[in-house]
Amino acid sequence: MFRTVVCVKQIRHIYARTGLDPATHFIAAADVVNIVNPLDELAVEAAVRLRDAQGGGEVVVLTLGELLAEEELRRCLAMGADRLIRLDAPCFRDLDAWATGVVLAAAARRLDPDLVLCGRRALDDCSGQVPAIIAGQLGTPLVCRVVGLEVNAAARKVVAHRALDRGDREIVECSLPAVLAVDKGINEPRYPALPALLGSREAGIEVWDASLLGLDPAATRPLTRVVRLYPPRPRARKIKAPDSSLSAQARIQMLMGGGAAPKKKEGARILELPVPEAARKVLEFFIEHKALPDPRPQVVHTPPPA
């Protein structure tokens, strides 16, 4: 049986209404909305499609920590996942990327999957390190930024289409088992039908602790610690004062353009005339440059007869 393990992270919603909490320098508690990382949701959809294309298999969703976004996690079951396993223990609190990868790799090792799928990065910290750590712990190939996926279970091969910069694509073939980090563009997650959503509410959620994974709490000790989170410091934009020698129109254009003086082309001039005279000047300009025919009558001088 072909088994796919999908690592799903519960994250805080990245939008806030009231701004930052001055005590934590992070999103205020009133604005915290826990959701499933959208890129991990793409991985769930890819795993379900892969199982259906092969005519069978198992999709197991792994999540780490407390049950914060239960409704969103159960929606992964409604999308077609077969099992949902939550890894929770006192030593699994406040983990960094390294410790997170170690715990997820220990759970994946116990499940013995053919394929491990993750989102390329989580939208809360944007580190993108966990897939590489899982692959390193499992000793399997790693392919990142996957936007296309083809699996040959009989040959134990996977062909991944990677997104590169400037719209380029790279096709990579590697052996199974493997760890793939999917990116936007691989698919569009389905919206589960109502019966599937209702059935997911009754589904059980397995809980694995550190002893079941055979992990020493010392192995999950974070190697890094976040000291402070804060937005970039705003930079004041310098706007040059308009040159008093410029015309009123040029000064207005300079202010509206953010302080940059309008560039004059060679031979260009600004008309500050009454409307009838300005229109006459514009018409003469077009006639002079052959953009319009000359409406004035042409006087033809004929030589006198010899």
Burial of 287 (0-12, 13-18, 19+ CB in 10 A): middle
> What does the pLDDT read at residue 250?
79
What confidence tier does 227 reach under pLDDT thresholds 50, 70, 90? confident
- Tell me the Ramachandran region of residue 145: left when phi exceeds 0, alpha when psi lies from -120 to 50, beta otherwise: left
Q: What is the pLDDT of residues 150-204, one digit of tens each?
A: 999 899 999 999 998 888 899 999 999 999 999 998 999 999 999 999 999 989 8
- Tell me the Ramachandran region of residue 222: left when phi exceeds 0, alpha when psi lies from -120 to 50, beta otherwise: beta
> What does the pLDDT read at residue 79?
94
- The distance from CA 284 to its chain's CA centroid, rounded to whole angstroms, is 55
Residue 261 has pLDDT above 60, yes or no: no
Q: Are 179 and 116 in contact (CB under 8 A)?
A: yes
Q: Are 55 and 126 in contact (CB under 8 A)?
A: no
Q: How many of the other CB atoms lie within 10 Å of CB of 91?
A: 17
> What does the pLDDT read at residue 243?
74
98: closest CA among 193, 225, 211?
Answer: 225
Q: Which domains does the chain have, with CATH numbers?
A: 3-220 (3.40.50.620)
Q: Which two tokens stand for residue 74?
A: 């159960």
> What does the pLDDT read at residue 47?
94
> How large is the average pLDDT for residues 90-104?
89
- % of the chain exceeding 90 in pLDDT: 46
CA distances from 190 to 115, 184, 204 (A): 21, 14, 22
